[in-house]
């Protein structure tokens, strides 16, 4: 497996503020990496560093086996798509697409050929002679993608390209970007704070917080085995249920209030006895039933149910006033006040050490 992008010990400070801290990322050729994290965590900053638009404080960036740490943006073999489209307003679509190629002194026939190809792929041929002001949001974003496309580069950088579009257009373009990726097969680094985009597009997701990568793994891995409490809480909507308790019996069981849950079948490391631990359960990994099974169920009372179309969310209150959510088929309506038992699928659960916040 050859590396397309390698980030080595990258740090970036704005004055005395450290925005990126000692980052290490290896991206394989053709891989689709999504940078995901809350606002202000440094996603755009990292992308700008990769593009060469910001001078880094420390570390190295390699693209395609070349050290590009101090190379100009245009010499890095990257194309970039911005959130605000950033189309040159005074140029036509054709002018926007050809600007970079003209700067590179490419012959006219070659420019025309590339524009024709990109316009074909993105279906923007009829728009080529319009100004950006005469385009819709979705069309503008296509042109912006086209501008990266004509550069014929190996690495695409996207900074929240869809977040200015409405929901319907967003899902359409999302699919289109995925199609584009499977067709061109180049490396993509994609910034978003939309989980759906991240989970659907990514080969691997890098979850970031305050300039530190919390976990870099495949979407399923991130979803099912979040490496720490932050990742667990950040991914998934509604978020994971967290039960604060302790692991006992040498790690064989989890004690939550008066409920004891059997941990046999947990997929993870040695659980051990931890006086303070957190059991994380996703809403879809709990099953509502009316009888209790010792060591396998948690008693709770239904508060409200929210039908959401495809399925339905049931909100319950467990011992100690803990609010929990469970996903059920939409036909299953639950009356408020019904006492029920939640069966735990321990093979899909996560246990966190309260002190270190790391997954056990």
Ligand X SMILES: Nc1ncnc2c1ncn2[C@@H]1O[C@H](COP(=O)(O)OP(=O)(O)OP(=O)(O)O)[C@@H](O)[C@H]1O
Q: How far apart are CA 342 and CA 285, in angstroms?
A: 10
* Residue 79 partner contact from Mg ion, another protein, ligand X, none using kind-dependent CB cut-offs of 5 to 8 Å: another protein
Provide the minimum distance between the beta carbon of 210 and ligand X in the complex, in angstroms, as a whole number: 8
Instruction: For residue 87, give every residue at least 6 positions away whose Cβ sits within 8 Å of its Cβ, in sequence order, or none.
Output: 93, 96, 132, 140, 143, 144, 147
Residue with Cβ nearer ligand X (25 or 93): 25
Provide the minimum distance between the beta carbon of 12 and another protein in the complex, in angstroms, as a whole number: 15
The residue within the footprint of ligand X, chosen from 45, 96, 195, 259 (CB under 6 A), is 45
Q: How far apart are CA 227 and CA 253, in angstroms?
A: 21
The pattern of x and - marking residues 184 through 213 that bind ligand X according to CB under 6 A reads ---------x--------------------
Cβ–Cβ under 8 Å, residues 177 and 128: no
Provide the minimum distance between the beta carbon of 101 and another protein in the complex, in angstroms, as a whole number: 8
Q: How far apart are CA 255 and CA 247, in angstroms?
A: 6
Q: How far apart are CA 173 and CA 88, in angstroms?
A: 21
| Interacting span for ligand X (CB under 6 A) from 35-43, 55-63, 105-113, 322-330 | 35-43
| Interacting span for ligand X (CB under 6 A) from 34-42, 57-65, 253-261, 326-334 | 34-42
Provide the minimum distance between the beta carbon of 40 and ligand X in the complex, in angstroms, as a whole number: 4
- Contacts to another protein by CB under 8 A: 48, 51-53, 72-75, 78-80, 82-84, 86-90, 99-100, 103-104, 147
Cβ–Cβ under 8 Å, residues 296 and 271: no
DSSP alpha helices (H): ranges in 235-334? none
Residue with Cβ nearer ligand X (37 or 146): 37
Q: How far apart are CA 34 and CA 196, in angstroms?
A: 11
| Chain centre distance of CA 307 | 26
Residues that bind ligand X (CB under 6 A): 14, 17, 19, 37, 39-45, 193
List residues near Mg ion by CB under 5 A: 44
């Amino acid at each position: 497996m050859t590396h397309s992008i390698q980030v080595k010990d990258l740090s970036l400070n704005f004055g005395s503020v450290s925005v990126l801290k000692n980052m290490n990322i290896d991206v394989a050729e053709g891989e689709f990496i999504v940078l995901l994290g809350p606002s202000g965590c440094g996603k755009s900053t990292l992308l700008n560093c990769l593009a060469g638009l910001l001078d880094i404080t420390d570390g190295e960036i390699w693209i395609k086996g070349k050290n590009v740490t101090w190379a100009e943006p245009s010499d890095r073999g990257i194309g970039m798509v911005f959130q605000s489209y950033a189309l040159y307003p005074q140029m036509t679509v054709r002018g926007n697409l050809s600007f970079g190629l003209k700067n590179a002194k490419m012959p006219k026939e070659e420019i025309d050929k590339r524009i024709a190809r990109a316009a074909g792929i993105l279906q923007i041929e009829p728009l080529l002679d319009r100004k950006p002001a005469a385009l819709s949001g979705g069309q503008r974003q296509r042109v912006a993608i086209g501008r990266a496309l004509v550069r014929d580069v190996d690495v695409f950088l996207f900074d929240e390209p869809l977040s200015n579009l409405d929901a319907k257009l967003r899902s359409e373009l999302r699919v289109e970007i995925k199609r584009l990726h499977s067709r061109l097969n180049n490396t993509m680094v994609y910034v978003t704070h939309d989980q759906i985009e991240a989970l659907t597009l990514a080969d691997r997701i890098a979850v970031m917080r305050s300039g530190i990568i919390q976990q870099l793994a495949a979407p399923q891995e991130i979803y099912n085995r979040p490496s720490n409490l932050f990742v667990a809480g950040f991914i998934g909507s509604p978020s994971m249920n967290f039960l604060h308790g302790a692991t006992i019996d040498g790690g064989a069981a989890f004690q939550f209030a008066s409920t004891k849950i059997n941990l046999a079948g947990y997929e993870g490391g040695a659980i051990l006895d931890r006086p303070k631990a957190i059991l994380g359960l996703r809403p879809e990994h709990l099953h509502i039933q009316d009888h209790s099974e010792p060591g396998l169920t948690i008693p709770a009372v239904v508060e409200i149910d929210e039908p959401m179309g495809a399925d339905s969310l049931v909100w319950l209150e467990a011992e100690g006033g803990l609010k929990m959510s469970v996903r059920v088929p939409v036909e299953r309506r639950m009356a408020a006040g019904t006492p029920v038992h939640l069966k735990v699928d321990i093979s899909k659960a996560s246990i966190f050490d309260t002190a270190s916040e790391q997954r056990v």
